[in-house]
Amino acid sequence: MGISLSKKGFKVVYDIHEHYPSVILQKHWIPYPIRKTVASLFDKYETRCVRKLAGISVVSREQLSRLITAHAAVLPNYPDLSLIREQIRTNSNHQSLRFVYLGTLGPGRGIENMIASFLLFLEKGYTAELRIIGHSNSSSILSLVEEAVRNCPSIKFYGRRRYIDALKLAAECDVGLFLPPISKSKEISSPLKLFEYMALGLVALLSDFPTWKAEFEPLDCMIFADPESPKSIVSCMVNLTNDSLFMQQKRDNAMKNSEKYSWEGVAERLVSLYQDIIRR
């Protein structure tokens, strides 16, 4: 549709949030023997189309490496801090840690290992709660979550909630989980969940992608684990549980550093992109 509108004289801006060829490689509904071919064809098609559009917006500079265009803006997935800060918890009345996953429940999100790791953590004798907030686009993962809830009272599933209500539930927690398995799309993405967790003052437990570690580890407000290894994830959970000072320092750093990741700080880039395109 964007190409059709462009041919009719409209100025079209293509908003890109993922490295779509690598996303296609993860689509299990595409037969495996043709998945690489479909990804390659889409890569060539998308690259060709971008040259014909007025401009693009991407969430990371790495996404620009394969897309040639005269007008582009890098707009990371930063949240509206004013909206989130209203939900911040001012006091705590729970004794054990609360972990939370906030987002879509689908393939490539690491839901399976997240639940398996939490159950192993409980088997070690620790007491904690895991909140899962979000809608599912996968019947198999939804079934997995529902079964986990039936078998473990410490796992709470809230399903789809209004954004504000979801933030309120997350704000009552201590550690935000985001442990997708390794993929090029995720490695060069701008992880909104991380920035939401930081703005709420939560410690983020993240996949140990080299790009994420290089960018975020110096902030000292998160902890990294191998997303494919429940043992690695459990080790991080144990460290956070056993060292309350370590936990609080990271929470304080999360709040302090979240100011750098605000939509208000990058919104002007989008305005400038539109102004440049209009002036052409």
* pTM tops 0.75, yes or no: yes
Per residue in 75-118, pLDDT (tens digit) is 998 998 988 887 776 545 667 899 999 998 988 889 999 999 99
Domain of 23? 2-78+263-279
Six token digits for residue 262: 């605000």
Report angle CA 208, 209, 215 to the nearest 5 degrees.
100
273 plus 236 within the same structural domain: no
Only one residue has tokens 């909104």, namely 192
Residue 185 has pLDDT above 80, yes or no: no
CB proximity list for 66: less than 8 A, separation 6 or greater: 43, 47
212 plus 271 within the same structural domain: no
98 plus 233 within the same structural domain: yes
Using DSSP, state whether 199 is helix, strand or coil.
Answer: helix
Six token digits for residue 114: 């997240």
- The total of structural domains in the chain comes to 2
DSSP state of 198: H
74 plus 85 within the same structural domain: no
pLDDT classification of 28: cutoffs 50, 70, 90? confident
Give backbone dihedrals phi and psi of 262, rounded to 5 degrees, phi first: -115, 140
Per residue in 213-224, pLDDT (tens digit) is 999 999 999 999
140 plus 249 within the same structural domain: yes
Cβ count near 262 (within 10 Å): 17
Closest CA to 92 of 246, 247, 233: 247
Chain-centroid distance of CA 157 in Å reads 19
Instruction: Give the span between the Cα atoms of 222 and 250, in whole angstroms.
Output: 6
Closest CA to 89 of 172, 164, 199: 172
